[in-house]
């Protein structure tokens, strides 16, 4: 698996990483052996950067991941978790909860340190607290050795400049905003972040199943015009003997300024397919066709979190 540097952290991350949200049964019921095998296959395929959160399965993802990683040498993988979001409407970015959350995550994951910790979905709260209270609390924990690098994650592009204009971060994670249909992360934020030396991570190459052949989930927030374009693009790929998910993954992982793209699944076969797809050349003609299909709805998305944070 090809790797890229994460900003100025010194970390080298695989261009495709394993997202452990599925281990928390966020999308479907998962069998224990299925979850354990998914982690093993991810590591075997070179997806040795693993991303999770206490929000995923309300702690279940971290617990399952901790069990799956027992006996695996700690220096053979890089581990990221998050804090601040604990349920759909439960957010707490106070300094007190920061300290508690780090210790709970360390216990669940069965490790003495986290490589990266991110403030999770900060667009749902007044973001000045992140700058004034949360980040300083994390820097103290970083000095203790429990956490190596700190950052933020979110959907609206506004969140990255808001925080980075006021304080230093090691890295950020954007999701569903560098895909075949939506490239706002690279268009609006990546050059700014790169100039500041902030490590850049992307998640959601399939944009919550939008860029797959799977039925679209009822909770998908994208406009109907975007969904219709995605169905046309998927059909076009099928007519040319390909899978839109393959094209989507290859596209998201190809950008040289994005250290890693996080994709999640509790299906080991999916992970093997992803690794195989990345070893194959990107079909430039098919990509051009699909980007043309998406052009009328390019960068259309939805509001996420507080209105003022979008």
Domain ranges of the chain: 12-208+244-281
pLDDT in tens, 109-132: 999 999 999 999 999 999 999 999
Least confident of 32-36, 226-230, 297-301: 32-36
pLDDT at position 230: 98
Q: Which residues are catalytic?
A: 56
Which residue has 């971060």 as its token pair?
A: 169
pLDDT of residue 51: 98
**For residue 55, how many other CB atoms are within 10 A of its CB?**
24
Per-residue pLDDT tens for 154-212?
999 999 999 999 999 999 999 999 999 999 999 999 999 999 999 999 999 999 999 99
Compute φ and ψ for 263, nearest 5 degrees: -130, 140
pLDDT bucket at 215, cuts 50 / 70 / 90: very high
pLDDT of residue 241: 97
Task: Check residue 29 and give its pLDDT.
Answer: 82
Q: pLDDT tens digit string along 17-51?
A: 999 998 987 777 888 899 999 999 999 999 999 99
Contact (Cβ atoms closer than 8 angstroms) between residue 101 and residue 109: no
pLDDT digits (tens, 9 = 90+) for 57-76: 999 999 999 999 999 999 99
pLDDT value of position 108: 98
- Residue 219: the pLDDT is 87
Buried residues in 116-148 as b, exposed as e (16+ CB within 10 A): bbbbbbbbbbebebbbeebbebbeebbeeebbb
Tokens of 247: 């094209």
Matching CATH number, 12-208+244-281, of 3.30.420.40, 3.30.565.10, 3.20.20.70, 3.20.20.100: 3.20.20.100
pLDDT attached to residue 49? 98
What mean pLDDT is reported for the chain?
A: 97
Proportion of the chain above pLDDT 90, given as a percent = 94
Burial state string for 280-293 with b = 16 or more CB within 10 A and e = fewer than 16: eeebeebeeebbeb
Cβ atoms 114, 147 nearer than 8 A: yes
Residue at token pair 């601040």: 84
CA gyration radius for the chain? 18
- 165 Cβ contact list (under 8 Å, min separation 6): none
For residue 26, the model assigns a pLDDT of: 73
């Amino acid at each position: 698996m090809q790797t890229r540097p994460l900003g100025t952290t010194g970390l080298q991350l695989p261009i495709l990483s394993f997202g452990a949200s599925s281990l928390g049964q966020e999308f479907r019921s998962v069998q224990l052996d299925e979850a354990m095998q998914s982690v093993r296959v991810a590591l075997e395929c070179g997806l040795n950067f693993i991303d999770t959160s206490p929000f995923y399965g309300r702690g279940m993802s971290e617990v399952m991941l901790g069990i799956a990683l027992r006996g695996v040498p700690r220096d053979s993988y890089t581990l990221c978790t998050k804090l601040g979001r604990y349920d759909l409407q439960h957010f707490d970015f106070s300094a007190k909860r920061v300290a508690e959350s780090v210790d709970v995550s360390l216990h669940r994951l069965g490790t003495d340190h986290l490589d990266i910790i991110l403030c999770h979905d900060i667009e749902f709260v007044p973001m000045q607290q992140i700058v004034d209270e949360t980040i300083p609390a994390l820097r103290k924990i970083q000095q203790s050795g429990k956490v190596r690098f700190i950052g933020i994650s979110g959907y609206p592009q506004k969140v990255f400049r808001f925080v980075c204009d006021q304080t230093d971060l090691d890295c950020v994670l954007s999701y569903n905003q560098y895909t075949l249909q939506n490239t706002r992360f690279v268009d609006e934020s990546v050059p700014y972040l790169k100039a500041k030396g902030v490590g850049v991570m992307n998640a959601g190459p399939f944009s919550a199943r939008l860029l797959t052949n799977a039925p679209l989930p009822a909770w998908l927030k994208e406009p109907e015009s975007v969904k219709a374009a995605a169905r046309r693009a998927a059909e076009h790929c099928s007519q040319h003997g390909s899978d839109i998910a393959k094209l989507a993954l290859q596209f998201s992982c190809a950008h040289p300024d994005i250290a890693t793209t996080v994709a999640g699944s509790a299906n080991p076969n999916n992970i093997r397919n992803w690794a195989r797809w990345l070893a194959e050349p990107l079909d430039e003609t098919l990509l051009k066709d699909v980007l043309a299909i998406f052009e009328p709805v390019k960068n259309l998305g939805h509001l996420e979190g507080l209105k003022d944070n979008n």
